[in-house]
Homo-oligomer: A and B are copies of this chain.
Amino acid sequence: MGVSERGAADVKGERGRREEAREAMCPHRLVLEHVTSRWGVLVLDALLDRSYRFSELRREIGKLSTVSEKMLAQTLQTLERDGFVHRDAKPVIPPRVDYSITPLGREAAEQVRALARWTGVRMDDVQRARAAYDAAREAARA
């Protein structure tokens, strides 16, 4: 799931309409979507170990899956706004911005990491299940 935020570029400075509409009925579902989003998961997991600069974080995450600058920036902004990530912009040339996890973010990140680890551990069970499923469908086709 994406971060569900339209880039500020596409429509002037507003968060997505969908997200805004859904915010009314069940606010914490959105928070869940933020932390479990495609890049949110990887950002939180990375920041659990140490703080990162923007490009450094991009490279780190890139080991697993390539993320565009745009999506990384969007994800970081969302997580910062929710209070999970702290952004420290140093007024130097060239610019230097450090991202770190907050105490609140750490709580989320630990659970997310646990889930991520779990998928790794259970991966072969999943693959066996998939093989069985595909085989059954193949058989049904004949």
Any B CB within 8 A of the CB of A129: yes
- B127→A27 contact, CB < 8 A: yes
13 contacts between A and B (CB under 8 A): A1-B2, A1-B38, A28-B116, A28-B119, A32-B41, A32-B116, A36-B115, A81-B130, A83-B133, A104-B125, A108-B122, A111-B111, A111-B115
Any B CB within 8 A of the CB of A128: yes
Least distance between A36 CB and chain B CB atoms (Å): 4
Least distance between A58 CB and chain B CB atoms (Å): 16
Report which of B29, B108, B127 forms a contact with A118, defined as CB distance below 8 A. B108
Which chain B positions have C-beta within 8 A of A51? none
Residue of B nearest to A116 (CB): B32
Any B CB within 8 A of the CB of A88: no
